[in-house]
Structure 1
Amino acid sequence: MILYPWLISAYKKLIFQHNNNKLHHTILINTIKGIGIFNLVWKFSTWLLCLNKKKDENCKLCRACNLTKSLNHPDWYFLKPEKEKKIIDVETLRTLNEKIFTSAQQGKIKIICFSNTDFLNEYGINILLKMLEEPPKNTFFLLINFNSFKIPLTLKSRCFLLNIYAPSKKNCLIWFKENNFIIKEKYFLTSLKISENAPLMAIKLIKSKLWIERKNFYEKLIDFIQKKSLILLLPYFIGKNILFKINWICLILLDAIKWKYNITESLSNLDNISTIKTISSKYSYYTLDISLRLWLKCRYYLLNVSNINQELLISKKLLNWEYFLNTNKFK
């Protein structure tokens, strides 16, 4: 399994801690999606379980390595919800609690990996906390967390925190060029911005239907702006990906504001420079700013108000936006 260059230092740090008897029994990995964190967890787990380790690599030949390769190692537990469920059920955790206090079947080490701490509800957290009070010897817990704001302090206090951030734009670009992707660089950089500098997520986005949908959405947007009738955009909003489309509007408005002040080095939509120029030249800073605030507020309502009528909300915002653009104060 590939260990991406931006994860190598974290991998070596974990190995160093283990070799110096400083590896904590519970490691909470705070990170973002789309940088290959599961590859890191898998490679480190494989190394830990290996019976004939070679510095920072597993031997790939021993019984433990063959078992992990076939996803059959009896001392490696990977926890995620069952199909059609959003959380790891309590019964699964109770069964796990019984298993981890038995002896390891291969070697001496047992590893329990939680694929996403969001899959644990309050009851699940409490069961996990009891496991961590007096964990069995040579048992390691690897917790992957994509939302540090939701982790209870009681759990954090029992863990070694490993913060792994998105790689820099420079390192992402080096990786992109070394892998010879058949993708234009400006598309990758644009997708990288949209994906919060998560390179794997950026590549996945470009190859998805969502990328085509984004292109079509921007084409319709500029068309309806020219026609001075933003309400025509409503059919292209309703359905899936509403939040994505609001984000696209916010990003293009923010780019238009940046363009107005010649802040071109931090533009997000590098593949839509003509659209940015058109919107920036056509509207005042006040109009762009109030438009951006309108859509940010709309996004907030969608995320925080339950059972909201999405079509009614979007219709209202489009009509408001149409009024702001057509009035265009302080031009």
Structure 2
Amino acid sequence: MAINSLTWLHPNYLKLSHLVKTHDNAHGLMLVGYSGIGKRILAFQLAGDYLDSDKLKPKRWANYATTANEYQDSDLFHPDCNFVCPEENKTTIPIDRIRSLKSFFELTSHQGKGKVAIIRPAESMTYSAANSLLKILEEPPDETLLILITESIQKLPETVVSRMQIHNIRKPSVEETIGWLNNEETENDWQEIIALFGSRPLLINELGYEFLTAKIKKISTDLDSLVLKKSKPSEIAANWAKEDLDMMLKILYIWISSLVTGSLVKEIDAVKYVPSSFKGLIGAKLNYELCFNYLNEIANIRHHLLNGKGLNWSLQISNLLTPIYADLKGLIQHG
């Protein structure tokens, strides 16, 4: 089974497996933890145990669906297991999907083992959808299991969280992440990628070593070019608008965050992987207020981008990059 290779998930799985197999579990389970560490695989594994079906427990992690349509069209599909997530090119789960879930639970189990629903990510439910889910949790049908997958319970209504049994899923260590990645692919030097994206092996593997390495090199070269005045913000912005813009912004956010963290805790290793032009900031007295405002600006642009807001992205990114072009004056404290 795929979960056998995800050793960091074993404590949670062993704790829950027996309970769901005997239907001695809470009606609602909430799996909380970072993205890209295997919570979705754990959820389907538990669904398979609850329904006594190996169909939901393929041998390879790559066989797990990421969207509802993929799930329904895959060999993983089980008529008594409903996978709820945002539709393609959407970022939220609407109330209609949760209402249909209530109808799903009320139907007789096809194989007489009960019914399971997995919601991922749970925080993507709209306010009205979460309220509709609350009604299910208040009067859960017999022989049903609801599994919510989330990165943070803070993003969910307290009324929903209070009715769930919460299980915090451990993030793998750097060593576990490297070991798993090198078992999946040929051996690579993952240190810089893990330093930037964290120990999230499934996410890193899905994006791929070559893709991530190329993106890191691209943005590093672009930022060096800005600082050295070889390129203008508008030129870099025009190129980024044609690239995977969210990925570029994510890497920039991580680098600025690492500079702030390294400055606050006086930890050089925290800024080991940054563009060469940023090295001069290591040990410098940063203007933390401006740094946090800058991070907030990146986050706001990403939010608009992910929600499909129609903005002039070249202009947005050009304005964002201007402080870096201006000798990083938007980050360093003067005087």
Among 229, 235, 239, which residue is 1:236 paired with? 239
Q: In the alignment, does 2:206 pair up with 1:192?
A: no
* Higher mean C-alpha deviation, range 200-209 or range 152-161: 200-209
Q: Give 3-state SS (helix, strand or coil) of 1:100's partner.
A: helix
CA distance in 1: counterparts of 2:232 and 2:290, whole angstroms: 12
Report the AA paired with residue 114 of structure 2. Answer: I
CA distance in 2: counterparts of 1:250 and 1:121, whole angstroms: 27
Among 38, 45, 48, which residue is 1:46 paired with? 48
Summarize deviations over 1:246-278 as a string: whole Å, max 9, x none. 44345445667859x984433452xx6xx43x5
Contact 2:52/2:113, CA 8 A, preserved across alignment: no
Report the equivalent of 2:103: 98
Q: Give 3-state SS (helix, strand or coil) of 1:218's partner.
A: helix
Unpaired runs of 5+ residues, structure 1, are 59-68
Among 146, 152, 156, which residue is 2:157 paired with? 152
CA distance in 1: counterparts of 2:222 and 2:281, whole angstroms: 17
Q: In the alignment, does 2:166 pair up with 1:161?
A: yes
Report the AA paired with residue 8 of structure 2. Answer: W
Q: In the alignment, does 2:175 pair up with 1:170?
A: yes
Report the AA paired with residue 155 of structure 2. Answer: K
CA distance in 2: counterparts of 1:27 and 1:83, whole angstroms: 25
CA distance in 1: counterparts of 2:162 and 2:257, whole angstroms: 39
CA distance in 2: counterparts of 1:266 and 1:194, whole angstroms: 10
CA distance in 1: counterparts of 2:231 and 2:77, whole angstroms: 59
Contact 2:225/2:231, CA 8 A, preserved across alignment: no
Q: In the alignment, does 2:111 pair up with 1:112?
A: no
CA distance in 1: counterparts of 2:161 and 2:123, whole angstroms: 14
Report the equivalent of 1:63: none
Report the equivalent of 1:216: 218
Report the AA paired with residue 154 of structure 1. Answer: T
Summarize deviations over 1:143-202 as a string: whole Å, max 9, x none. 11234222101111111011113212232233345x1632422xx122122223211112
Q: Give 3-state SS (helix, strand or coil) of 1:103's partner.
A: coil
Report the equivalent of 2:317: 314
Identify if the C-alpha distance between structure 1 residues 316 and 169 changes in structure 2 by more than 3 Å, giving closer, same or farther: same
Contact 2:27/2:145, CA 8 A, preserved across alignment: yes
Identify if the C-alpha distance between structure 1 residues 75 and 127 changes in structure 2 by more than 3 Å, giving closer, same or farther: same
Unpaired runs of 5+ residues, structure 2, are 59-73
CA distance in 2: counterparts of 1:167 and 1:44, whole angstroms: 20
Report the equivalent of 1:302: 301
Identify if the C-alpha distance between structure 1 residues 183 and 206 changes in structure 2 by more than 3 Å, giving closer, same or farther: farther
Identify if the C-alpha distance between structure 1 residues 282 and 230 changes in structure 2 by more than 3 Å, giving closer, same or farther: farther
Q: In the alignment, does 2:326 pair up with 1:323?
A: yes
Report the equivalent of 2:2: 2
Q: Give 3-state SS (helix, strand or coil) of 1:166's partner.
A: coil
Contact 2:115/2:145, CA 8 A, preserved across alignment: yes
**TM-score w.r.t. length of structure 1:** 0.75
**Structure 1 segment 258-277 matched on structure 2, within 5 A:** 258=262, 263-267=267-271, 269=273, 275-276=275-276
Shift of 1:74: 2.7
Identity of aligned residues (%): 21
Number of equivalences? 310
| CA root-mean-square deviation | 3.9
